[in-house]
Chain A
């Protein structure tokens, strides 16, 4: 960057000239225009976060004023609550199953669409549709019906209702997420279209087959996009709530098998009225997601290939 070479005073120089007032004024107007967002961010995000941090050190049942208990919530969580650890294991299982499946499916569909000559727009929209629907509660309820006793899956496969079997319920939840692969698919598709066709031509001339081309051209060229999707979906997967809530009819059952982290958090906060404990859980989740993301970024150095790096 060339700007770094300019001394600090020199950079501010134009602002100090006669045009100063309108500049200021414009800044003021900018703040006015930003104010709905800034207010929203402060009132609806930062303030509640601060309150939640405070509450995490208290015993608060929603009805009487919070009582300061220091680190007790955190200590109880890590040492005295077997259900907490069960929810951690469930969430990790979910992340490890749902994220790779979803990304693999998104990539596969994106590859299929890329080669398509006609009707690409239609199929892209069609595959994206579940992502629009999937965020809603209604589709999750339909999902529960599909996987319930006497539902479509039961009728087709004769397996009984998945949502009532501890070993299967989480898979039904994961499939709901996997099915909403639209967002990563679109990003993959955009990424695939960025890969210069010359690379494939060159590879073909060198005698590389389709599979070889995929491994040696597509994967490395697509790795930044893959990394982006991986980080995004992992963060989302840790916070999964709606599908687990709807598929288990709000209970995290059967036998706690779909009691993911946020479900247990909700249970502690809104069912058992332990808001302090729930707040502490939320902060631990935030930290864990931060750490996992940091780890992903660290490992990315060894497998993500940026084309710009190569040119340097």
Chain B
């Protein structure tokens, strides 16, 4: 019957059209803006860094009217997970910020573009060759460091001064640090510091102060369960004495300064990286100053200048040249450098660093001064950590939770961690 056929035909046609529409919606919405190239650029950081980055990006768009930059940012923990998922799905952003811990995995996984191929758009001649080399994996330049950072003890100046405890000097050992935290807790009634036991970074500083490393050169574990037991016994005791934050507060750390005890006003100091520490300026009324990390008992420094905040380009980007231009702008543009300041660390372009350095304002100046005070005193940074380290960072924090909630002894938890770490690094 023709009537039936027509109806059936119409129905099929309608359904197919519907499918086409639905499929259309699912496709990438890029290059829709009237011939403009759209670049996706993502990073992690605090609102301060976001605001400055947005300003710099707006300037870039003004200079390049044919390029639109779609930005997004989040806290480090969330960023790391989202980026891994995007990269696995072949949908990594065109330009992405990467951590030292990530480049090995992303480079060997084929996610990143060889930046040497975009030499004409991206200049690297004004970056210190040694620093630039930290973005290389197997002799290919996959990423460029945007700054260098080091760890610091950020402290609430007013509260510390009011306590009457002498302010920190040019250096202190871990036991001097511990005594100071006890004194601060006694005088101020709140813990002196965030419990450093949860932090793999702080453990590394302590370990290096004893002449050891987190990882050996071939990427296996550089310390024993005994070392970790000693570290956790040390921090566990301080926690029991009330010199560092209680478990309930320590467990809330998520990589943002807002959720640290210092950020919440419940402790006097916090060990953190210097660039993110700028976030404290807005949170701590009494003002924030930076002291160095404690050293080994014989004065061996544990902290180091770490190439930080790498920026890389996706191997799958449709606009490699424009992406490289954006990277070039972020690193080599004078005006961009002025806007960005030290929000990702002190600039890596040496001409700009010398020129901008004296003009740095507010907390950027504090960071520059802090780094200058350490110049020449620190030991070489370790090589890029093996891929498994990315996951071990959170395992470390979790295992310490078991200690700080007194569910496991430091030894038990340390042995657990070493077992887990060995399995992680093997695979």
Residues of A within 8 A of B (CB): 22, 25-26, 28-29, 32-33, 35-36, 39, 59, 61-64, 76, 80, 82, 149, 160-161, 164-166, 249-256, 267, 270-275
**A22 — which chain B residues lie within 8 A by C-beta?**
1, 4
A148 CB to closest chain B CB (Å) equals 8
Selected from A26, A82, A270, the residue in CB contact (under 8 A) with B85 is: A270
Q: Beyond A252-B398, A255-B247: 7 further Cβ-contacts under 8 Å?
A: A29-B8, A36-B19, A166-B405, A251-B394, A255-B405, A256-B398, A272-B395
- In the complex, per-residue mask of B164-208: 1 if CB is within 8 Å of any chain A CB, else 0: 000000000000000000000000000000000000000000000
**A59 — which chain B residues lie within 8 A by C-beta?**
427
Contact A251 B398, CB 8 Å, known A33-B11, A35-B19, A64-B109: yes
Is B30's beta carbon under 8 Å from chain A? Answer: no
Is B284's beta carbon under 8 Å from chain A? Answer: no
Sort A-B residue pairs by CB-CB distance and give the 10 closest, nearest first: A63-B109, A62-B88, A272-B391, A164-B248, A254-B251, A32-B12, A255-B401, A255-B405, A29-B8, A32-B15
Identify the closest chain B residue to A28 (Cβ): B8
A62 touching B398 by the CB < 8 A rule? no
A41 CB to closest chain B CB (Å) equals 14
Identify the closest chain A residue to B259 (Cβ): A249
A254 touching B85 by the CB < 8 A rule? no
Identify the closest chain B residue to A149 (Cβ): B248
**A36 — which chain B residues lie within 8 A by C-beta?**
15, 18-19, 22
**A61 — which chain B residues lie within 8 A by C-beta?**
105, 109, 387, 427
A-B contact list, 10 entries, CB within 8 Å: A26-B4, A33-B15, A36-B15, A62-B87, A63-B106, A253-B251, A254-B401, A272-B391, A273-B390, A274-B391
A13 to B108, CA, bound (A): 65
Selected from B4, B15, B387, B394, the residue in CB contact (under 8 A) with A25 is: B4
| B residues 84-118 touching A (CB-CB < 8 Å) | 84-85, 87-88, 105-106, 108-111
B84 CB to closest chain A CB (Å) equals 6
**A80 — which chain B residues lie within 8 A by C-beta?**
423
Is B359's beta carbon under 8 Å from chain A? Answer: no
A82 touching B401 by the CB < 8 A rule? no
A271 touching B81 by the CB < 8 A rule? yes
Identify the closest chain A residue to B402 (Cβ): A255
A275 to B398, CA, bound (A): 20
A272 touching B424 by the CB < 8 A rule? yes
Is B5's beta carbon under 8 Å from chain A? Answer: yes
**A270 — which chain B residues lie within 8 A by C-beta?**
81, 84-85
